[in-house]
Structure 1
């Protein structure tokens, strides 16, 4: 064992740089995989934890005004319904706090927490009898902190995302409209979290709970019912929804929310980030395994004489194999330990959501198992990749056979002779010949090209994903987001459609103000709700981004996102029937649009089509298309005083806002892959130097100087790197586009969003690979060229 350790130590000292790069690459790969596990846990487990602890409802049904409580409560008798939450008397209104306003769904509830779909307290407390409005003539309570029933105003409990938007905490006051067209103050007594979909500005109202007495004065749009159904088998969700809608009547159901939708929205961009980490981490792990295999295989070929010597002095094949495995096992363990320690100590200091996920990972289920399983898997994978090469080392005979400096029959080819006759540099001609001429070397060169192409392939895929994400920011019109600003109508009675368009287009940098409205629609079979959106008019059409088919131009024509096509199992050219406010709406799908919102489950048509169904429908918002040179923030600030309180202008939200931390992912992945590629270069250089070292006699015999011999070795390495760059980048661009489009189709956005990196970037990657190979090989090549002839003769054994 002592001899094995001494040999391993001597080999480590002779290859310090290569060992360091292997350690750094392994540490980076482990860190990427651990962050992937943290993001997956962070994305999925919080919602699952809340759903489990609160005994959440699998389906939420929202009915229209006038629906009786007894009708909704009867859903508890349906087969497959284990329990119900509510029914709660519900109304849609708005809540205001100093400096903020949000749409809110007020639910009337009692002072006892429900057993099913129970809100989980984050801060404060639940409602009590003291939070009811004061009766006529009863003296007001003295103001307090709002947490002990001593507030002079009725109490309200806010869902956490709504409380965040309003900037409200227990003890603060928010206001809602009252029956006298004034504002009724409510004191926040608690903040809770639920497993329902969260508040989304302009799209989904937040949830608040009040006692029935405070509810009666804040119902401007009438009172409906909300009920949650907890099912015995979550797999039967669609079937139970269909039965429930049939039981109540489709005209009385305003909205259906299923648990899958809530979970998907809770995961949001975190799951996509986790997928990015996992995909690139596994790809980097594969590249690292190939790099380790190539390094040990090349080392075996370069140390045949040393292996033969140690076998001659008594080393067994098992000892030789164990020596190589011990070295790379040490590299793997040290690198994995360093990566794990870095995430454990510094993970929560990473900016943004990645650091937040790493910080709370300790408290999530499965943390310990993932923290042990991921590093162990990385070590086993790297060791398995080196086992074959180590086994080959054990088969080396104790007496090596002599090898000729130049194999018989290996002459210059006619093209090589003509190139030398044209006075091309001998280093260029002989370097090309040394890399690709001759079956043994050609095979080894192709193997090196394939291994080096893997990290370049992964780098190109990462750059493709990066370019696609940046495209949503730099070219939003090309990916379904042509409108930079949205003006929402907050007071329909204060401004007409014509006045709104005139005010919004008064600025020269506003190219168009296109009216729009959204309504919830029940899909065929009445198993869920989708968004039916009216945008633009026949006179001023909306600039849809159509990836397949054409934009809608005629009556009842529409375009749909990929998510809706998948949901309804339809194609472009089909007719679809849906139910809107109890009445059927039939549309002809003439195109597939790039739809980044709501998982692509959106069908869009000109607003004129919605007017035919409902002549009284007014635009609920306006999408503002700006000139290319206009700054959205500047335009928003300039329009705000002109439109007054009737319109609320905000920047159109982008789903890529949650992907901002992805840049950190891409940078980290590219650095790790670059380290792996550098390790591969060191391996290729070592093989080239060793092969050309056996040819020194022949090269010097034909008159080449040491500088020219060094150039031959450098050029051979450069050609190998160039071939790997061409193969890796070409395949990376193709695979990157396919993978990004596949991810876009799976997420509902739709294929057609992928963007290849610009040609200068790809050329820069190729140039960096070639120049890096040339720079790294310069010193070993110079040393080989200065080697004495006696040393070169010894390498023929």
Structure 2
């Protein structure tokens, strides 16, 4: 054991840099996997906890006032109901912020869908104007207990007495109004009612919705939301961040394992004589294997423990969503299991890969085998000999031959280096896609920057005149948006009519063609998946009891409503209802116009009649992904650096026995140095070509697959620009060559006696 430790210590002193990089790379990988576990827990647990504690309803159905909702409690599979509660659609403002809201008349604190108070108190019958806000809606308004909400266009005010958590669909500007619980007396002009159903079997949600709509009648149902939709919205971008971290963490772990395997294999080839001496003095094959195994497992263990300690101690202090995720994750029951299991699994994987490579050391014979003095990389190939005959620089030819002369070993070296470079290309593509949402929103399904919604009764001509006079607006597209029941009547989708046949809305199409004719429409990926239809199919839906049949001619990139949107022109919807008037306007701004300033100007000019807000950009929620991508690129660069150091060390050791022959044929130390530098550069160049050739299509497939699963749809993936790819490749190749220059120069200037000793 003492001899083993001395050998390991001497090897550590000789390879300090490589050991440090292994520790740092392992720490980065384990930290990525732990953060991925934290984000997955953060994405799922808060909503699930609220849903369980509040006895949340599995289905919420908005109906007309005259609907006979009492019959729903008698349906098979319905355990209990919440409501029905009268509702009123209003616009509220607080501290200059306006937002649509649903006033829900709640006579008593419900048992099903029971709001969980965060601050303040519940409704008091003695305060007819007191209301409780959903916590997410309160954050959007920057409201807190004691604030007074105003209803623009009226003299009414509401007093915020409490803030509560709810498992219902969250507030989304322009898509989902904020939820406000109020006494029934505060709901002065109820436009409908809402009822919640808690089911005995949540898996039968679709069937329960279908039966409820059948009982009530399609004309009585305005909108349906389910617990699956609310859960998916609550998880949102956090789950995507967790998937990205998990994917790159696992990929980095494989890359690190391969790098360790290559490093050990190269070191064994360079220490064959030393290993033979160890065996000659009494080391058994098992002891030799344990030297390498324990040494690299110790590196991995140190890095894993450091990552776990830093994540546990400092993770919650990271600003933004990552810090919040770690804080919530540390309070979950499976936190301790994940904190131990992830580092242990990483160390075991690296140990298994290390054992496979170290096993070769145990097979080294105890009597050193004299290696034949041949050209680096083996006997010169015909191509190399012809290149020398053409009087190409000998250093370049021999360097290329050294890199690719031994095909099996060369392919392994290129593959190990290409893997971290490939993952870097994928990370760069993710970064570019996020940037494209900000720099070219029209190409990513966001041609309009602002949405303007009008109060009921506001004349279209008056609103258009106001919008046409406003500065900074390039185009105005009038439209309507309403909920529609899908065929089978088990879910609702968003039916949108925007623009006219003469001035169509510029949807970003990924497939098909624009909707230009009567009854033609484009649909989001989420709707196509929900209805299991394709481009060219006809879809029948129900809007307020009236059928609407549309022909899907294209698929649009649709970031809103999880892609469950079908869009046509306002003229098409008016063909069924000539009295239909626009209730919203999408505004496309001139280049350079500030959306916030334009929105403020419109709000002031509208004198309380207009609700103006920015169109939500899904990339805003992915802003933490940039820091994650940067960190992953750093970890992958460390792994690539380890592999480069291994390749350089192997090239230098392989060249030691050829040094005498190279000097004998007249090569100078500078030319001999150029051989190793060229060999390293050629290996890096081949790895870059493989990484770019495979990484770009892989990145497109992964990003588009995520787009399809989220409902946005394929077609959002953006590859890095050609200059960026070329700069990445040049940096990798030139960096590898520069890294190889110093050790190659030292080896080329070694004394002849040292060279003879190394070749013996």
Please state if 1:60 is matched with 2:60: yes
SS in 1 for 2:126: helix
Please state if 1:697 is matched with 2:672: no
Deviations for 1:344-385, whole angstroms, at most 9, x for unmatched residues?
232223232122212332223321111111111111111111
SS in 1 for 2:708: helix
Equivalenced residues, count: 760
Partner Cα distance (2:149, 2:593) in 1:
36
Deviations for 1:213-240, whole angstroms, at most 9, x for unmatched residues?
333xx21xx3422111111111111011
- Which residue of 750, 753, 757 maps to 1:790? 753
1:657: Cα distance to partner? Answer: 0.9
Contact 1:505 1:511 in 2 (8 A): no
Contact 2:174 2:615 in 1 (8 A): no
Please state if 1:170 is matched with 2:135: no
SS in 1 for 2:608: helix
Structure 1 match to 2:674: 711
Structure 2 match to 1:432: 400
1:551: Cα distance to partner? Answer: 0.4
1:408: Cα distance to partner? Answer: 12
Contact 1:45 1:365 in 2 (8 A): no
Q: 1:588 to 1:41 in 2, by over 3 A?
A: same
Structure 1 match to 2:712: 749
Q: 1:128 to 1:644 in 2, by over 3 A?
A: closer
Partner Cα distance (1:409, 1:767) in 2:
25
- Which residue of 85, 90, 96 maps to 1:88? 85
Structure 2 match to 1:657: 620
Q: 1:125 to 1:648 in 2, by over 3 A?
A: closer
Deviations for 1:300-338, whole angstroms, at most 9, x for unmatched residues?
111111111111111111111111111111100111112
SS in 1 for 2:637: helix
Contact 2:119 2:162 in 1 (8 A): yes
Partner Cα distance (1:477, 1:82) in 2:
46
Partner Cα distance (1:187, 1:731) in 2:
59
- Which residue of 565, 585, 588 maps to 2:551? 588
- Which residue of 378, 395, 400 maps to 2:363? 395
Partner Cα distance (1:65, 1:26) in 2:
62
Partner Cα distance (2:376, 2:506) in 1:
70
Structure 2 match to 1:245: 213
1:559: Cα distance to partner? Answer: 0.2
Structure 1 match to 2:742: 779
Q: 1:286 to 1:409 in 2, by over 3 A?
A: closer
1:259: Cα distance to partner? Answer: 0.4
Contact 2:131 2:162 in 1 (8 A): yes
**TM-score, with normalisation over the residues of structure 1?**
0.92
1:241: Cα distance to partner? Answer: 0.5
Partner Cα distance (1:641, 1:256) in 2:
35
Contact 2:540 2:549 in 1 (8 A): yes
Partner Cα distance (1:588, 1:372) in 2:
54
1:598: Cα distance to partner? Answer: 1.2
1:505: Cα distance to partner? Answer: 3.2
Please state if 1:73 is matched with 2:70: yes
Structure 2 match to 1:45: 45
Structure 1 match to 2:100: 103
Partner Cα distance (2:324, 2:479) in 1:
37
1:762: Cα distance to partner? Answer: 1.0
1:653: Cα distance to partner? Answer: 1.4
Q: 1:377 to 1:691 in 2, by over 3 A?
A: same
1:667: Cα distance to partner? Answer: 0.3
1:738: Cα distance to partner? Answer: 1.1
Name whichever of 638-647 and 773-782 sits farther off.
Answer: 638-647
Q: 1:502 to 1:95 in 2, by over 3 A?
A: closer
1:258: Cα distance to partner? Answer: 0.4
Structure 2 match to 1:304: 272
Mapping of 1:715-754 within 5 angstroms? 715-754=678-717
Q: 1:753 to 1:104 in 2, by over 3 A?
A: same
**TM-score, with normalisation over the residues of structure 2?**
0.97
Partner Cα distance (2:606, 2:161) in 1:
35
Structure 2 match to 1:416: 384
Structure 1 match to 2:440: 475
- Which residue of 339, 342, 350 maps to 1:374? 342
1:447: Cα distance to partner? Answer: 0.8
Partner Cα distance (1:187, 1:708) in 2:
83
Partner Cα distance (2:205, 2:510) in 1:
32
Structure 2 match to 1:149: none
- Which residue of 163, 177, 181 maps to 1:209? 181
Name whichever of 527-536 and 96-105 sits farther off.
Answer: 96-105
Structure 1 match to 2:119: 123
SS in 2 for 1:530: strand
Partner Cα distance (1:171, 1:613) in 2:
47
Deviations for 1:614-642, whole angstroms, at most 9, x for unmatched residues?
22222122111223344434544555544
Name whichever of 279-288 and 182-191 sits farther off.
Answer: 182-191
Structure 1 match to 2:507: 544
Deviations for 1:453-501, whole angstroms, at most 9, x for unmatched residues?
0000000001111111111111111111111222222x3444x323333
- Which residue of 513, 523, 537 maps to 1:560? 523
Alpha carbon RMSD of aligned pairs, Å? 1.9
Partner Cα distance (1:372, 1:363) in 2:
15
SS in 1 for 2:754: helix
- Which residue of 649, 652, 672 maps to 1:686? 649
Partner Cα distance (1:795, 1:262) in 2:
69
SS in 2 for 1:505: helix
Partner Cα distance (1:629, 1:586) in 2:
40
Mapping of 1:309-458 within 5 angstroms? 309-406=277-374, 412-437=380-405, 441-458=406-423
